[in-house]
Amino acid sequence: YNDLALPIKLFDYLSYGRPLVVTDCTEQARIVREADAGIVVGDTVEALSAGFAHLLQTDADQIVAWSAHAADAARRSAWSTRAKQIVEILTGGEA
């Protein structure tokens, strides 16, 4: 279930425009990797700890990039964006 589920809170966290540290559950890991919005780690205390340590040691430019990518991923996944895409598909043009 955890590999298939996409918790809404993932999109909430992306909308904060900050880098994420997520476990390697298939779908949430895919979204964070594709968006280049943070770090994906194993599902253990040690892996999470290492992920947070890595985040704390990451240079400012990478933090800024991950943050921008997270915010962009949130905009692309917003309900308003999805609704506009559906209207455009159904009407064959601009919404």
Q: What angle do CA 13, 15, 18 make, to 5 degrees?
A: 65
The predicted-structure confidence for 34-86, as pLDDT tens digits, reads as follows 999 999 999 999 999 999 999 999 999 999 999 999 999 998 888 788 788 88
Helix (H, G, I), strand (E, B) or coil at 41: strand
93 pLDDT band, cuts 50/70/90, is confident
Helix (H, G, I), strand (E, B) or coil at 20: strand
Q: Please give the Cα distance from 75 to 15 (Å, whole number).
A: 7
Q: Are 7 and 28 in contact (CB under 8 A)?
A: yes
The predicted-structure confidence for 8-19, as pLDDT tens digits, reads as follows 899 999 999 999
95 pLDDT band, cuts 50/70/90, is low
Residue position matching structure tokens 């253990």: 44
6 pLDDT band, cuts 50/70/90, is confident
